[in-house]
Structure formats: structure tokens, C-alpha cells
Homo-oligomer: A and B are copies of this chain.
């Protein structure tokens, strides 16, 4: 069920500070964009990340993969497509496509995995049931 509804779309515009001396966006600058997509998906799901932290939990990143296809440039309008692809009791994962809004060209494809930890101890804990239930409708099994 790769529902189009479950793909969250965020838009942002490339900042000059995100470019490098190659004249294009620096490869590290895409990583916070994936975070923007993920945070916006959580908000859309009714589980804003700030609320998760307010419970004393952190959702920490355990794994990051990015494949670079074609460069984005200063002032390009960017779309970040975010999909929740795994949702387990202790782990979740997202897939991303970052593309140029104007042409649809793919800039990067990415994947991140996350675990939930208690802020005080940094020990892994179960994803709270209500958060799990809010995220289930967004899950796309691949």
C-alpha cells in the first residue's frame, strides 16, 4: 500500500550558506533537509517532535544513507518527499527523495533509522503506544 497520501511533501528554498565552492549545494547541507521532512511528517501525523521531547524522550538517529544524483543550486525551490518505511516497538525508519520542484529532477535519495531513548539515561525505550498509533496510517510497507 504505497499510498500517495502517506508521502509527506515539504518545500524549502536553497540558502546561499548551503552552497560550497563547487557552486552547488554542499553534500552535508542535504542532511538537515531530511530532518525538515521528517519533522514535518511527524507534525502532520499529530505527533510534533517537540511534544515527544517534552515527555523526556529523544528520537535519535542511528543510521543515515544518502545517494547523490544531481546537484541543487542556490535559490532552487526544493521538495523533500518523506515516507515512513518502518515502525517497530523500538525503531523507526524513513525514506526521502529530495527533488527540484521546477523540473522534478531528483537531487538525492536518503534513508534514516531512529531509536527512541530516555533523555535522562540515553537508554533505548519502547515507542509510546499513542505515538505508534498516530504513525501507523503513515507507514508504507515497501
Which residues of A are interface residues toward B (Cβ below 8 A)? 13, 15-24, 26-28, 31-32, 35-36, 39, 48-50, 53, 58, 60-68, 71, 73-75, 119, 122
- The complex places the Cα of A24 from the Cα of B23 at a distance, in Å, of 11
How many copies altogether? 4
- The complex places the Cα of A49 from the Cα of B17 at a distance, in Å, of 13
- The complex places the Cα of A40 from the Cα of B53 at a distance, in Å, of 32
- The answer to whether A27 and B61 touch across the interface, beta carbons within 8 angstroms, is yes
Beyond A20-B20, A21-B21, A21-B24, 15 additional pairs, beta carbon < 8 A: A15-B36, A17-B28, A20-B21, A21-B53, A22-B58, A22-B60, A23-B23, A28-B35, A39-B75, A50-B74, A60-B68, A61-B68, A62-B68, A63-B66, A71-B122
